[in-house]
Amino acid sequence: MAGFDRLTGVAAFVCAVEAGSFSAAAVRMNLSRSAVGKSIARLEARIGVRLFQRTTRSQSLTDDGQLFYERCLAALGELEAAEDELEQGRREPAGRLRITLPALFGRRCVAPVLLEMAQRYPKLELEVAFSDRVSDLIEEGYDLAIRSGGLPDSTALVGRQLGAQHVIVCAAPSYLAAHGTPQTLADLAGHDGIVYCRDARTSQWRFVDAGGGELIGPVRARLRLDDIEALAEAAMAGVGLTRLPYWLAEEHLRAGTLVHVLPGVQSIPRPMHIVWAASRYLPYKVRLVIDALLERIPPLLTAPPPFQAP
């Protein structure tokens, strides 16, 4: 039992350093904040050294704490590497993996891949959060995230691009029959737009010309919604023109409930990334999910005709 307590204290200490707080470490370890604090306090008492300088608002490592942290990293790295070798030998990933996904893209494109993995690997425990909010992976204890848009420079995160999300302008046949079909970007000024709006910020319709320059479609926003699926439903009801990711619009285009408007104009592709916290060690279960997503998601992010790569 004494040996187990020593390892528990070390794990809680390292997690608290990497997460930035006892509270964040508690989330990552699935423990209470009190349990993490007591474990670290027992560790400090046992080795007779104060590891953290604590104030009411922050915590930082002491010089002794920094030295101890570096030694603990090396020791835990060896243990994790040994465990990973055994896990790979069994070819059966196990344990909890937490991932946060954009709501609609996550449900439509990513969730089917994760469900297949859950069926294939019974010992793999998946905890999935569907939200368009940008989560703090380290603070909130997520192993992976899917992010839309460019990634900020960061030494704390690692990212791999899954592809680029292409957006098209579309409308219901009934709307076009009643209001006409725009032939140029300038024609958008005479049409009703169903526009994505979040946190009181309305998304502009941006496009690129043949030379790569940026253009803005002058559509008037008649309806502002913060849900992409609601944009599609409003467009199919004939309310106006909207912009949709091609991976969502394609099924409606095939069914004839939506029409691709201005097919010769290209929007600015928005990159999609899979992101995880930079670490000395990446568990086998995390690498397995990353590899599956890198294989399965890019084909879903193909560009619409006529920009389909040959």
Residue 240, judged by CB atoms within 10 A of its CB (0-12, 13-18, 19+), counts as buried
152 and 274 together in one domain: yes
In a domain, 307, yes or no: no
Residue 1 has pLDDT above 50, yes or no: no
DSSP code at position 166: -
197 and 259 together in one domain: yes
Q: Domain of 50: which CATH number?
A: 1.10.10.10
150 and 283 together in one domain: yes
Q: How many structural domains are present in the chain?
A: 3
40 and 18 together in one domain: yes
- The pLDDT of residue 89 is 56
What's the predicted TM-score (pTM) here? 0.68
- The pLDDT of residue 3 is 47
14 and 71 together in one domain: yes
- The pLDDT of residue 150 is 80
184 by DSSP, 3-state: which?
coil
In a domain, 280, yes or no: yes
42 and 75 together in one domain: yes
Tell me the mean pLDDT in the region 144-172. Answer: 87
In a domain, 310, yes or no: no
Paired residues of 62 in beta bridges: none
- The pLDDT of residue 298 is 93
Tell me the mean pLDDT in the region 10-21. Answer: 83
CB 305 within 8 A of CB 262: no
Digit-coded pLDDT (tens) for 27-60: 888 888 888 888 888 888 888 888 888 766 667 8
187 and 142 together in one domain: no
Strand-strand pairing, 192-198 and 220-225? parallel
In a domain, 66, yes or no: yes
- Tell the residue number behind the tokens 């020791």, with chain if given: 75
156 and 284 together in one domain: yes
Q: Which domain holds residue 81?
A: 2-89
In a domain, 189, yes or no: yes
Residue 156 has pLDDT above 60, yes or no: yes
Residues 291, 139: Cα–Cα separation, whole Å: 24
In a domain, 155, yes or no: yes
Closest CA to 84 of 280, 283, 286, 281: 283
Closest CA to 10 of 70, 59, 93: 70
263 and 274 together in one domain: no
CB 272 within 8 A of CB 165: yes
Digit-coded pLDDT (tens) for 103-112: 999 999 999 9
160 and 279 together in one domain: yes
The whole-angstrom distance between residue 309's C-alpha and the CA centroid of its chain comes to 26
Residue 90 is encoded by which pair of tokens? 């069994």
